[in-house]
Structure 1
Amino acid sequence: MPGVKCGGCARFASALDGAKCGKCNLFYCRICAGIPPNTRASSKWRCLECKKNVARDNRNETPVRGTAQSPPSDVAGIMTIAGSPDATTSSVASPTPSEVSIAYATINKQPPAPCMDLQVILVELRAVRAEIQVFRKEMEVEMAELKTTLNSCSTRIDGLETRVDALEKLATSSPSNSNVDGIVEDLMRELNDRDQDLLANDIEVSNLPEGKAENPAHIFKVIGHKLGISLDDRDIVSAERDAQCLSYKHINYAWPQLSLYYILCDGGRQLNVTNSAGPAESRPRPIVVPLARRDLRDQLLDSARARRGATTADLDLPAPVQRFFLNERLTKPNRLLFRKARDAANALGWKFF
């Protein structure tokens, strides 16, 4: 026997296991209709929705709106099934078989209500499926971008690893300390040679007495005139006393063959020299003269060698007559090397060195 959908709980129940409202023709199951077991409702039974719309006339059987329980008047509309122990033939008469068949036919004529809940569920499932598809597409795009970013990072990491490996190989193949010392020595030699090239036009006049108001340029012109070479102002770039004084103190120089004694101090007026041959002696500071031309420097040096033993006579210097010397200007390492070689020559009696 097909079921009928209940108007209260929306469940399907047998047409005989419930009651049909005589006003709205809606079917209600036994639980929603409040029908006791082993009883059945008459054709005059009304549902709660229909009862609450009945106008109140101050009678006891008039239902109250919103009452959860069925009124006592509902019992009068319920018929007890014949043959049950609770049946009371005096209150309600038992229905005949023809009445039951007519009620069953009337109930079967009404079409079953469509299942709206199932349709709602299907619509919601379709919406969820569409959202899942959109989310899947977005995730695919995000995954593609993430994959591209990971590939780029992997490429950069590979490049960094290659550079680190190259640096490690370079560090392991770097020269030892001895090679580094050799490189430093070569660089110092190159710097010394470059500095010496810058002094190619300079000349140095030593062992000249100093005065308080002297003019080194005028003194040098007089020396040139004495050596037979006429000098002009444009031939002399500058002329001044050397601002550095040297006293030798033990240090190990960068070149292994030199072990010299020197220390620099600025502003001294006398040159205090201590060599290995004898005690300290006091000397005036030399006059340093950069010349405009190298050939002029060479002429002065050649003339000084030809007139070896020239003295300060006729130079108008406030000091006793003494010898002076013209030499090419040397850098500090070359000057110290020259002094070391000259001391060794004097000690060993070398004539030429």
Structure 2
Amino acid sequence: MPGVKCGGCGRFTSTLESAKCGKCHAQYHRVCVGVAPKAVVTASWRCPECKKHLARDNRAETPVRGVAGSPLTVSPVGQTSEETSTPNTTSSRSDLASIFNEQQSPSPTPSMPLDKVSVDDITAREMSLIAGSNMSLLFEELRAMRAEIQEFRKDMEVEMMEIKTSMRNCNARIDGLEARISALEQKASSGGSSSDGIVDELRRELNDRDQELLANDLEISNIPEAAADNPTHIAAIIGLKLGVSLDERDIVSAERVGGKQLNATNSAGPTEARPRPIVVRLARRDLRDQLLASARVRRGATTADLDLPGPPQRFFLNERLTKTNRRLFRKARDAASLFSWRFVWTKRGRILARKSPGDTTQRIRTDEDISRIFGPINETM
């Protein structure tokens, strides 16, 4: 593992080339603690530092550091440390001496015994072997660190590119916001836009949306009202009279709307209350358009033969308008009558006006449109 030092020699070590203590979890080079390179290190293995604190029980063995931690030295009386060391250390020294005698240095003659080899030669060769092993480990660690640094550099470059892209997007959005704020400030300073104008525009949009919700509705007015009448049945028989067959599934709802008027009396006698209109919502818009077209063709149709109470009287079919559009339509008709405009009508919830055949059709959405199209009128009208 890069960055972990050996507890014996203090140099860096890796997981594959180290032995880990099962108690203190410190790591050592295998050569530093005398563990074979391919030996399996169990969890019960203890490092020299942990063994040092164990009770002796009158045993002669004493835990020692590895070869790199305690190299061979010559005692003052001419004895080497291998004479006072454990048998394992003596055998490892003999093995190292035989390796160096055979491979690296000029070996003594075959007849020369092993104990004739100089202790200084053995120590120097051991240190050279350990130094070479440590250098190879160090090179491996450096290569591993270099690979990690390169990988980290690549990740950082990718992240930096993402940060630059995000910064460019943020700058573009900020520039757009600044441009919009500048435009709004210019409009506010020049008086080109006011809160009243914005409110009026919002009201017009809401009115248009409300009118769109009434696209399948129509209004039948001037139908005699009785206590037990059925608006759905009345709508069906009026459709038959106009030549459009309506099934019960075609009529979503039918009801009279508005406040119920009471009969009032005066000196001339009782006055008749005007019947409330019937609002019919159809399942399809094409049925509503067919009924309106048939009503225009059969203009002047009455309630005769409809089995309704009272004398026959003329009834009317129109589009259902919102409250705002009903007020504008009534005001537009009064203005058209005042200024001799011949045509004022509604189509798909829009109020339209035309002075004479062949003229341009004008759409009316506000009171200002009425003044602009027809001319100034009396406010009390």
TM-score, normalising length from structure 1? 0.40
User: Which protein is bigger by CA-based radius of gyration?
Assistant: 1
Higher relative contact order (CA 8 A, sep 6+): 1
Greater strand proportion: 1
Q: TM-score, normalised by structure 2?
A: 0.38
